[in-house]
Structure 1
Amino acid sequence: MKYMVALCLLSSGLFAQNVKQSGSAVKTSLNAYSFNKNITVSKTMTLSQMLDFAAEQNFDAIDITAYFFPGYPKVPSDEVINNVKRRAFELGLDISGTGVKNDFANPDPAVRAADVKLVKEWIDVAVKLGAPVIRVFAGPVPKGYENKWDEVAKYMVESLKECAEYGKQRGVLVGVQNHGDFLKTADETIKIVKMVNSEWFGVIVDTGYFITKDPYIDIEKIMPYAVNLQVKESPFGPRSPIKTDLPRLLKIINKSGYRGYLPIETLEIKGEPRPVPDIPYDPFVLVPAFLKDLKAAIHNEYQAQN
């Protein structure tokens, strides 16, 4: 019977239309950027050790940003990739995604072309890792283009289209992150998604980087386009003392029908005290505490509907 239902859904085009189902479970993931200083600055932690930490804390997955592979932006060897993949498997961790540094808002076509090449190279890495999604940035608003949003969007979209098409060929979704740069609101981000117009392109929803009065409104508006998330400690950025209302956030996510990972990312503010919570930045303390709160919100939201 289930087989017949599946055939009916396929024949009706439901799957092809990317219709999301409500009442779906979600999984936790650790975004590697939480340990940026430990891995890239003080070098007191290796990528393998971060995987161990994620497993010890009972994360479901790890989101391995590309710049935590030694030698970035150079593509790592197959041996390095395979060792990371094997270690994650041994620890019971999925690899929920990866991401690169790029600037598609740059008015220089040569810069954008180089970044398209970079994204394609790391899409190939994502395939080898088994990561379903790669995160890209829009980029900062170029100097002199502050009032030329549509002009920048037009050439940016051409780069994003090329990345999405390559992602389609390789079986990796491309997600653009709202990062408080060129993309500050849900409406701006949705406009870009519609211009790209690809089932292989969506949004990495950054819950802490909508530059609006009520980010929850933007989060709810953008969730139908989500291919992954970055759950932050505050919806108003790392300098805000206002904590993310996780029960409210989970209701929005559940209502949207999103199925997938909820990577958490804690942030250090260089040279400044942290308002959320008001303690020195220590991911070994902050990440487990944030994960505990997120898991409680997930349990309460999805348990309530059963």
Structure 2
Amino acid sequence: MKLAFSTLGCPTWSWEKILKEASGLGYDGIEIRGIETEMALHKCTPFLPGNIERSIQQVKEHGLKIICLDTSCVFHDPAKLDASIEEGKAAIDLAVKLGVPYIRVFGDAIPNKDDRKETIAQVAKGWQAVCRHAEGKGVHVLIETHGDFSDSRTLLEVIDLVDSSALGVLWDINNPYKYGDGEPLDVTYERLGRYIKHTHIKDTKGSDMHGQITLAGEGDVPIRECIQLLAERGYEGWLSFEWEKRWVPEIAEPEVAFPQFIRYMKQ
């Protein structure tokens, strides 16, 4: 298992600072969720056509790997479905150029429980369309355990409707554990383990899925137990630190959180 951090945690850092800090702190890779003020991946300055080859070289020079491109694709909203599919396809094309194995998408919500079956079918339709574009290109389209699709049983309903070799799951360990009445780690893994390609690590306090964000080990998410479970099951994927600084600016600066996380994990 190797360690990465998401650029969600350092929204003011330049591309050069991201690479320098990741390498200097001992991370193995980075996950891209926007760079500085730009959230659209194909519009980020390092990934513009005239810059992309140099950026690939910079990543190599720092001994790093870009492990995942995080999109804003959500498939539950009919008004956003077509745009999300196109965004997903564009992210796949960029991932191919960068040599990135994963892109991330969302379910994301079931706004009306009476329309649950229809929403699940629509999420499957959107995910299927993006997965089809990825097939044969060395890229997996990972749906995150997020929102109402934090419930592994609900996510399995979607998986059963999607037929593609390019699908996978991104396990955000906080969300199923804190969703609803809470889901034990081993239950989540038992249901989704064969699909999990990538893992987000974050810690929070409180019973709600959107509880108080804490530094690693200072909340009540059983991170150590999760790592032990993954190790026992032979997981060889990445562990990526998701520090939600972009959305919650009052939490600690990345200069504090990123080194603390890697110290904690390397224990």
* 1:169-225, Cα deviation, whole Å (9 max, x unpaired): 32210000111x231311112222222132210111101112042442454232321
Q: Does structure 1 conserve the Cα–Cα contact (< 8 Å) formed by 2:42 and 2:94?
A: no
| Structure 2 letter corresponding to 1:183 | F
Q: Does structure 2 conserve the Cα–Cα contact (< 8 Å) formed by 1:223 and 1:253?
A: no
Alignment of 1:79-94 (within 5 A): 79-94=50-65
2: CA distance, partners of 1:203 / 1:69: 28
Match 1:171 to one of 106, 130, 138: 138
Shift of 1:79: 2.6
- Structure 1 267/65 Cα, relative in aligned 2: closer, same or farther at 3 Å? closer
1: CA distance, partners of 2:14 / 2:7: 11
2: CA distance, partners of 1:198 / 1:71: 28
Match of 1:53 in 2: 21
Q: Does structure 2 conserve the Cα–Cα contact (< 8 Å) formed by 1:230 and 1:262?
A: yes
Q: Does structure 1 conserve the Cα–Cα contact (< 8 Å) formed by 2:42 and 2:48?
A: no
Q: Does structure 2 conserve the Cα–Cα contact (< 8 Å) formed by 1:116 and 1:163?
A: yes
* 1:123-148, Cα deviation, whole Å (9 max, x unpaired): 11011111000001113334xx2332
Match 2:124 to one of 157, 182, 198: 157
Alignment pair present for 1:34 and 2:9: yes
Shift of 1:229: 1.2
Shift of 1:86: 1.2
Match of 1:230 in 2: 200
* 1:22-74, Cα deviation, whole Å (9 max, x unpaired): xxxx11111111113x2xxxxxx212211110001010111112565847265
Alignment of 1:161-200 (within 5 A): 161-179=128-146, 181-200=147-166
| Structure 1 letter corresponding to 2:148 | F
2: CA distance, partners of 1:292 / 1:282: 16
Give 1 or 2: higher strand fraction. 2
Shift of 1:261: 1.0
1: CA distance, partners of 2:163 / 2:259: 38
| Structure 2 letter corresponding to 1:164 | C
Gaps of 5+ in 2: none
Structure with greater Cα Rg: 1
Q: Does structure 1 conserve the Cα–Cα contact (< 8 Å) formed by 2:75 and 2:81?
A: yes
* 1:76-102, Cα deviation, whole Å (9 max, x unpaired): 422332222111100000111111102
| Structure 2 letter corresponding to 1:239 | Q
Q: Does structure 2 conserve the Cα–Cα contact (< 8 Å) formed by 1:62 and 1:95?
A: yes
Shift of 1:237: 4.3
Number of aligned positions between the proteins: 252
Q: Does structure 2 conserve the Cα–Cα contact (< 8 Å) formed by 1:204 and 1:230?
A: yes
Q: Does structure 2 conserve the Cα–Cα contact (< 8 Å) formed by 1:134 and 1:172?
A: yes
Shift of 1:238: 4.4
User: Larger deviation: 255-264 or 236-245?
Assistant: 236-245
- Structure 1 213/153 Cα, relative in aligned 2: closer, same or farther at 3 Å? same
SS at match of 1:182: helix
Match 1:141 to one of 91, 110, 113: 110
Match 1:130 to one of 74, 84, 99: 99
Could you state the TM-score of these two structures normalised by the residue count of structure 1?
0.75
2: CA distance, partners of 1:185 / 1:178: 7
2: CA distance, partners of 1:69 / 1:260: 29
2: CA distance, partners of 1:158 / 1:83: 36
Could you state the TM-score of these two structures normalised by the residue count of structure 2?
0.85
- Structure 1 165/242 Cα, relative in aligned 2: closer, same or farther at 3 Å? same
